Chains A and B, each alone.
Chain A
Amino acid sequence: MIARDRNWLLIFAVCVVLAVLYPLFADGYQLTVIRDALIFGLFAASLDFFWGRTGILCFGHAAFFGIGGYIMALITLNDAIPFGSLLGIMGAVAGAAFVAAIIGYFLFFGGIRGSYFTIVTLAMGVICQQAAVSWSSVTGGDSGLIGIPPIEFDLGGMHVDLSQDLPSYIFVASIVAVVVLALWSISRGRWGTVLTAIQDNEVRAAALGHNAPLRLLVTFVLSAAIAGLAGALYVCMAGLVAPDLSGLLLSTEVIVWVAVGGRGTLLGPVLGAIAIQRAQQTISSFNPSLWPLLLGCVFVIIVFVLPDGILSIYARLKSLFKGRRRAQ
Chain B
Amino acid sequence: MDFVVTTLLNALTLISILMLVGLGLAISFGLMNVTNLAHGEFVTVGAFAVYFVQSVGGSFWLGLAAAPIAGAVVGCILEFAIIRHLYSRPVSTVLATWGVSLILQQGLELTFGLGAKPVTPPIEGTFDLFFTVYPAYRLILIAIAMLTLLGVVLLISRTSFGLDIRTVIQNREMAEGVGINTRRTYAIAFTFGAAIAGLAGGLVAPLAIVLPQMGVNYLANAFFVVIVGGVGSIGGLVAGSVFVGGLTSILNYQISPSLAQAIVLLAAIVAVRLRPNGLFNGASR
Listed in ascending order, the chain A residues whose CB lies under 8 Å from chain B are: 55, 57, 59, 103, 106-107, 109-112, 114-116, 118-120, 122-124, 126-127, 130-131, 133-135, 248, 252, 255, 259, 289-290, 292-293, 295-300, 302-304, 307
> Of A248, A252, A255, A296, which one neighbours B103 at CB under 8 angstroms?
A296
15 A-B pairs with C-beta separation under 8 A = A57-B91, A106-B269, A110-B274, A111-B276, A115-B94, A116-B227, A119-B224, A122-B220, A123-B224, A123-B265, A131-B262, A135-B259, A299-B95, A300-B96, A303-B86
Contact in complex: B258, A289 (CB < 8 Å): no
Q: Does B60 contact A (CB under 8 A)?
A: no
Interface string of B241-278 (1 = CB under 8 A from A): 00000000000000010110110011011101110100
Contact in complex: A119, B95 (CB < 8 Å): no
Contact in complex: B276, A299 (CB < 8 Å): no
Contact in complex: B92, A307 (CB < 8 Å): yes
Contact in complex: A115, B216 (CB < 8 Å): no
Given known contacts A296-B102, A300-B100, A114 and B268 CB-to-CB distance under 8 angstroms:
no
Contact in complex: A126, B216 (CB < 8 Å): yes
Q: What is the CA–CA distance of A298 and B29 in the complex, to the nearest angstrom? A: 24
Q: What is the CA–CA distance of A248 and B216 in the complex, to the nearest angstrom? A: 9
B residues within 8 A CB of A124?
265, 269
Q: Report the nearest B residue to A126, measured CB to CB.
A: B220
Q: What is the CA–CA distance of A168 and B266 in the complex, to the nearest angstrom? A: 38
Q: Report the nearest A residue to B35, measured CB to CB.
A: A115
> Of B29, B95, B272, B274, which one neighbours A303 at CB under 8 angstroms?
B95
Task: State which of B9-17, B105-113, B150-158, B160-168 sits at the interface with chain A.
Answer: B105-113
A residues within 8 A CB of B276?
110-112
A residues within 8 A CB of B94?
57, 59, 115, 118
Contact in complex: A296, B92 (CB < 8 Å): no
Decide if the interface of chain A is mainly helix, strand, loop or mixed.
Answer: helix
Q: What is the CA–CA distance of A110 and B274 in the complex, to the nearest angstrom? A: 7
Given known contacts A112-B272, A116-B227, A131-B262, A303 and B92 CB-to-CB distance under 8 angstroms:
yes
Q: What is the CA–CA distance of A290 and B102 in the complex, to the nearest angstrom? A: 11
Given known contacts A126-B216, A133-B258, A259 and B95 CB-to-CB distance under 8 angstroms:
yes
Q: Does B135 contact A (CB under 8 A)?
A: no
Contact in complex: A114, B90 (CB < 8 Å): yes
Task: Tell me how far the C-beta of B61 lies from the nearest C-beta in chain A, rounded to whole angstroms.
Answer: 33
B residues within 8 A CB of A109?
273
Contact in complex: B102, A123 (CB < 8 Å): no
Contact in complex: B95, A302 (CB < 8 Å): yes
Residue among A59, A114, A126 with max Cβ neighbours from chain B (10 Å): A126
Contact in complex: A118, B269 (CB < 8 Å): no
Contact in complex: A296, B100 (CB < 8 Å): yes
B residues within 8 A CB of A296?
98-103, 106
Q: What is the CA–CA distance of A115 and B29 in the complex, to the nearest angstrom? A: 9
B residues within 8 A CB of A255?
95, 98
Given known contacts A110-B276, A120-B272, A130-B262, A293 and B35 CB-to-CB distance under 8 angstroms:
no
Contact in complex: B269, A123 (CB < 8 Å): yes
Q: What is the CA–CA distance of A298 and B94 in the complex, to the nearest angstrom? A: 13
A residues within 8 A CB of B42?
none
Contact in complex: A110, B95 (CB < 8 Å): no
Contact in complex: A130, B100 (CB < 8 Å): no
B residues within 8 A CB of A293?
102-103, 106-107, 110
Contact in complex: B106, A115 (CB < 8 Å): no
